[in-house]
Chain A
Amino acid sequence: MATHAAHAEHAHAPQAFIWKYVFSKDHKVIGIQYYVTAMLMALVAGLLAMLIRVQLAWPEKDYTWLGKIFPMGYDVGGGFGVMRPEFYAMLFTMHGTIMVFFVLSTAPVSGFGNLLIPLQVGARDMAFPFLNGLSYWTFLPGCLVILASFFVESGAAAGGWTSYPPLSALKGAVPGSGTGQTMWIIGMVFFIASFTMGGLNFVTTILNLRTKGLSMFRLPLTMWAMFLVAILGLLAFPALVAACIMLVFDRHYGTSFFIPAQIALNNVPLLTQAGTPLHQGGSPLLWQHLFWFLGHPEVYILMLPALGFTSDILSTFSRRPIFGYKSMVLAMCGIGFLSFIVWGHHMFVSGMSPYLGMAFAVGTILIAVPSAVKVFNWLATLYRSRIRFTTPMLWAMGVISLFISGGLSGVWLAQAGPDIHLHDTMFVAAHFHLIMAGAALFGVFGATAYWFPKMFGRLMSEPLGKVHFWFTFITYYGTFFPMHYIGIAGHMRRIYDPYQYEFLKPLQPINELITMSALILGASQIIFFVNFFWSAFKGKKAGENPWEANGLEWTTQSPPPHGNWPGEIPEVHRWPYEYSNPDAPRDHVMQHEPAGAAAGH
């Protein structure tokens, strides 16, 4: 009977190219669409980062040749080319915006979330397949609007990825605060709408469509991460939509949510013709509260999936059950909850009441407890294990390494006092590139290599994967670790030419070193793209379960067919971490194997 139903579903799989691969409702296709789009956006954002780094290392050099490629960004005259400061502001603004939202929220969450949720919970598809397709086709216009904004008059947004008003609210405050900023807002609204649709799907699918026997405490940690991330997104993003709409009103319709009365731009007071203030009663601090109310949970939206991937990959390749499964789940819940009460640590020196600063310091330091628990659990998982150093395993080890390095500097910054000196310096850039961006990026690379069979039915090249890992791992540290030192020395962020300052001049050699490392880091990513596309078409065929792993996704074909399992959906008898049980005949027992196969969970 069930087989019959499955066959019927099979027959319903769309055949026309446009319905199968373009306007698809299949979660796997949608996941790959999200993933590929995000990786292409990463190319753009990465290129922006290269230009930022070149400028920081050698602002005095002749850039005539770059001016030929980017005529809008460089002043070339008298045989000498220099970057325009407003172009630099646009570079760091769009680098941050694209990376945070359109790459590192998208690839792990929307990409792997869509690919993996039905496969790991044992469902034929997401709960709302149409909504799922719609979410991708809402996301893509957001990307296109953001990309198009580079080509409007005066360029893309240049107020920082945080878009603090009044800089982002007053059109004369910075070039890019005109049409570019409007398009930034439109792009964000598209993105958030899409993320909300995805989030609804995630929560519903994980709660309602789990297969028989799969209780919440038998879910892989990746699923817990996706579940929490979706809740975080649903609760936090509305604050940013509200803020964006208020910003539109301030910019175009004369309201004053974020703009106070007392403003004189270029020595001209903002007054109506009658001589009354153009704006009254607004507060730039309100934007910061709304932005970071999203912005801090957003950090964990980027990171939690990577932490989930890492736990799953680590367990598979160390051939050990993940240590402290329940405490891992609790730690992620704790991190998710605390992420809502720490946003003010971005605002210690903003002029916000110092009493509030105290409260936010408390929450921020507390969040180090569940974070530390995760690291200890990972280390305990590796203890007396049997590690197989495949490419996914290397990336997982990389995530642990970056999570330690980047997490510890959080303890410095969480104490409001040291933050007075370190706030808005390169120390902060080092901190979040290691922990948030780095852990998320390494997590995505690890997940790509690990679940590639479920995307394309093939394995990625191991030699290319390893070369890519080593170049990336070494140059990632080479790029971001030294930023701690120059940050402690006072090097501010977002400075077009640091060497205007006497006290920063001695730091130029370190900036040069960072830039050289960054350029190699950027170039190394070519290896990944070559490996990705070559392996997708020519890679070694993967069987159902090439890694000898336990999850439900490994019980079906690679790639899984429409409907995910050709026959019945498997039933679950235990957790997904049953490795090296001494009572079992093999060193791993899969989730769907009947209880007779092994003692244990």
Chain B
Amino acid sequence: MGKLQGLLFALATVVLVVVSTAYFMKPWMPPLLSDRGDIDHAIWVALVLTGVVFILTNLLLAWFSWRYQDAEGARAIYWHDNPKLEWTWTLVTAAILFVILFNALGLWASINGPAPADAALVEVTGQQFAWNVRYPGKDGILGRTDFKLASQENLIGLDPADAAGKDDVLLLNQLYLPKDRAIRVRVRSMDVIHSFFLPQFRVKQDAMPGMVTEVWFTAKELTPPDKPLEIACAEHCGLGHYRMRGQVHVVAASELDAAVAAAAGQ
């Protein structure tokens, strides 16, 4: 009975290692369409490093459970300390993690760094259960909004008294991105917390009521006109959370204004 259990455990562990590693080799990430390839790279490095540790520790676990079964009369070794060994594996682990940390902080800083000066601007306002998308129009300035003005006709409470808002272009659940030009996205919410998630662009930013948060990135590939990508909501926001979905189109930078205007005219 005992022997069988150890063998089974070893076998199960080896199967786990083989199957899970084989599946991790598959391309699970959605195709990358933005300049945030560094995130993919960091994930890939993490996969390789943790994968090696996963395989080694599990193989040891499998080997020990198969090899060191109880036998009549034999005693285990009496060995319960080895400061040199313990310091070694602690410091080696710490050193590897330090390198990971160093890279992670660099990546985080670059993602959150300032946007290029020529970046386009768009505002995305989540509300139960839709994404209001607003472009600043020719003046490049988003008009003032006031939540007190919000209504069925004025979803984000655009202030009609503000001249800068006259040429703002409002779209519902349609986001247009310029190819090869950075875009700043001002993320807001009208009601509860939502999360603006663009899987193919490695962008996710919570839309926090009472706050404006800005993220920026650059789209690198055009989307076919009949095959837009999706905006997803990644934060539970109520009963319609699962259908809070929008469409993303990447167009040539020079065609952005025309594409937005055409979408608004429809």
Q: Give the docked Cα–Cα distance between A261 and B146 (Å).
A: 11
- CB-based closest 10 A-B pairs: A260-B210, A415-B104, A389-B5, A490-B199, A264-B150, A321-B80, A354-B112, A408-B50, A417-B107, A351-B213
Map CB proximity to A onto B87-105 as digits: 1 under 8 Å, 0 otherwise.
Answer: 0011001100100110111
Q: In the complex, which residue of chain B has the Cβ closest to the Cβ of A474?
A: B12
CB-contact partner of A261 in B29, B49, B89, B147, under 8 A: B147
Q: Is A282 an interface residue (CB 8 A)?
A: yes
Q: In the complex, which residue of chain B has the Cβ closest to the Cβ of A405?
A: B54
Q: In the complex, which residue of chain B has the Cβ closest to the Cβ of A376?
A: B89
Q: Do B193 and A167 touch across chains, with their CB atoms under 8 A apart?
A: yes
Q: Is A409 an interface residue (CB 8 A)?
A: yes
CB-contact partner of B68 in A85, A386, A408, A470, under 8 A: A386
Known: A349-B195, A365-B97, A385-B64. A418 touches B232 (CB 8 A): no
Residues in B neighbouring A122, C-beta threshold 8 A: none
Known: A492-B197, A495-B242. A319 touches B151 (CB 8 A): no
Q: Do B148 and A271 touch across chains, with their CB atoms under 8 A apart?
A: yes
Residues in B neighbouring A411, C-beta threshold 8 A: 46, 49-50, 97, 100
Q: Is B161 an interface residue (CB 8 A)?
A: no
User: Which residues of chain A from 207 to 257 have a CB within 8 Å of any chain B CB?
Assistant: none
Q: Do B236 and A160 touch across chains, with their CB atoms under 8 A apart?
A: yes
Q: Do A320 and B77 touch across chains, with their CB atoms under 8 A apart?
A: yes
Comparing B36-44, B166-174, B175-183, B256-264, the segment that makes contact with chain A is B36-44
A417 CB to nearest chain B CB (Å)? 4
Residues in B neighbouring A158, C-beta threshold 8 A: 239
Residues in B neighbouring A421, C-beta threshold 8 A: 29, 39, 43, 199, 202, 204
Q: Give the docked Cα–Cα distance between A333 and B57 (Å).
A: 24
CB-contact partner of B243 in A423, A494, A497, under 8 A: A497
Q: Do A358 and B108 touch across chains, with their CB atoms under 8 A apart?
A: yes
Residues in A neighbouring B127, C-beta threshold 8 A: 264, 267
Q: Do A261 and B28 touch across chains, with their CB atoms under 8 A apart?
A: no
Q: Is A350 an interface residue (CB 8 A)?
A: yes
Known: A404-B58, A412-B43. A420 touches B203 (CB 8 A): yes
Q: Do B209 and A260 touch across chains, with their CB atoms under 8 A apart?
A: yes
Q: Do B75 and A170 touch across chains, with their CB atoms under 8 A apart?
A: no
Q: Do B190 and A350 touch across chains, with their CB atoms under 8 A apart?
A: no
Q: Do B61 and A89 touch across chains, with their CB atoms under 8 A apart?
A: no
Known: A271-B148, A351-B206. A412 touches B61 (CB 8 A): no
Q: Do B97 and A500 touch across chains, with their CB atoms under 8 A apart?
A: no
Q: Do A86 and B239 touch across chains, with their CB atoms under 8 A apart?
A: yes
Known: A323-B80, A473-B12, A501-B232. A379 touches B60 (CB 8 A): yes
Q: Give the docked Cα–Cα distance between A158 and B93 (Å).
A: 41
Q: Do B43 and A388 touch across chains, with their CB atoms under 8 A apart?
A: no
Q: Is B30 an interface residue (CB 8 A)?
A: yes
CB-contact partner of A420 in B16, B46, B111, B187, under 8 A: B111
User: Which residues of chain A from 274 to 298 have a CB within 8 Å of any chain B CB?
Assistant: 275, 277, 282-285
Residues in A neighbouring B206, C-beta threshold 8 A: 349-351
Q: In the complex, which residue of chain B has the Cβ closest to the Cβ of A318?
A: B76
Q: Do A267 and B155 touch across chains, with their CB atoms under 8 A apart?
A: yes
Residues in A neighbouring B117, C-beta threshold 8 A: none
Q: Give the docked Cα–Cα distance between A385 and B2 (Å).
A: 14
Q: Is A306 an interface residue (CB 8 A)?
A: no
Q: Give the docked Cα–Cα distance between A358 and B236 (Å).
A: 25
A320 CB to nearest chain B CB (Å)? 4
Q: Is A498 an interface residue (CB 8 A)?
A: yes
Q: Is A190 an interface residue (CB 8 A)?
A: no
CB-contact partner of A492 in B16, B74, B103, B234, under 8 A: B234
Residues in B neighbouring A498, C-beta threshold 8 A: 242
Q: Do A416 and B49 touch across chains, with their CB atoms under 8 A apart?
A: no
Q: Is A546 an interface residue (CB 8 A)?
A: no
Q: Is A67 an interface residue (CB 8 A)?
A: no
Q: Is B162 an interface residue (CB 8 A)?
A: no
Q: Do B90 and A369 touch across chains, with their CB atoms under 8 A apart?
A: yes
A399 CB to nearest chain B CB (Å)? 11
CB-contact partner of B104 in A275, A401, A417, under 8 A: A417
Q: Is B223 an interface residue (CB 8 A)?
A: no
Known: A415-B107, A580-B75. A263 touches B147 (CB 8 A): yes
Known: A351-B206, A466-B5. A385 touches B28 (CB 8 A): no
Q: Is A581 an interface residue (CB 8 A)?
A: yes
CB-contact partner of A489 in B30, B43, B204, under 8 A: B30
CB-contact partner of B81 in A261, A324, A400, under 8 A: A324
Q: In the complex, which residue of chain A has the Cβ closest to the Cβ of B104?
A: A415
CB-contact partner of A417 in B28, B82, B108, B235, under 8 A: B108
A315 CB to nearest chain B CB (Å)? 9
Map CB proximity to A onto B22-60 as digits: 1 under 8 Å, 0 otherwise.
Answer: 011010111000001011001100110110011001101
Residues in B neighbouring A174, C-beta threshold 8 A: 192, 238-239
Q: Give the docked Cα–Cα distance between A404 and B56 (Å).
A: 11
Q: Give the docked Cα–Cα distance between A318 and B2 (Å).
A: 12
Q: In the complex, which residue of chain B has the Cβ closest to the Cβ of A601?
A: B80
Q: Do A388 and B104 touch across chains, with their CB atoms under 8 A apart?
A: no
Q: Do A503 and B30 touch across chains, with their CB atoms under 8 A apart?
A: yes
Residues in B neighbouring A473, C-beta threshold 8 A: 12
Residues in A neighbouring B108, C-beta threshold 8 A: 354, 357-358, 361, 415-417
Known: A400-B61, A488-B29. A415 touches B46 (CB 8 A): yes
Taking A263-B210, A319-B75, A320-B80 as known contacts, 16 extra A-B pairs with beta carbons closer than 8 A to each other, sorted by chain A number, are: A89-B238, A166-B193, A167-B237, A263-B190, A265-B191, A267-B155, A268-B150, A284-B208, A379-B57, A386-B74, A386-B75, A408-B50, A409-B50, A415-B101, A420-B39, A580-B77
Residues in A neighbouring B58, C-beta threshold 8 A: 401, 404
Q: Do B211 and A351 touch across chains, with their CB atoms under 8 A apart?
A: yes
Known: A383-B68, A397-B9, A489-B28. A358 touches B105 (CB 8 A): yes
Q: In the complex, which residue of chain A has the Cβ closest to the Cβ of B6?
A: A389
Q: Give the docked Cα–Cα distance between A361 and B208 (Å).
A: 21
Q: Do A365 and B193 touch across chains, with their CB atoms under 8 A apart?
A: no
Q: Do A325 and B80 touch across chains, with their CB atoms under 8 A apart?
A: yes
Q: Is B86 an interface residue (CB 8 A)?
A: yes
Residues in B neighbouring A500, C-beta threshold 8 A: 242-243, 245
B68 CB to nearest chain A CB (Å)? 5
Q: In the complex, which residue of chain B has the Cβ closest to the Cβ of A410?
A: B50
User: Which residues of chain B from 94 to 145 have a CB within 8 Å of any chain A CB?
Assistant: 94, 97, 100-101, 103-105, 107-109, 111-112, 127-128
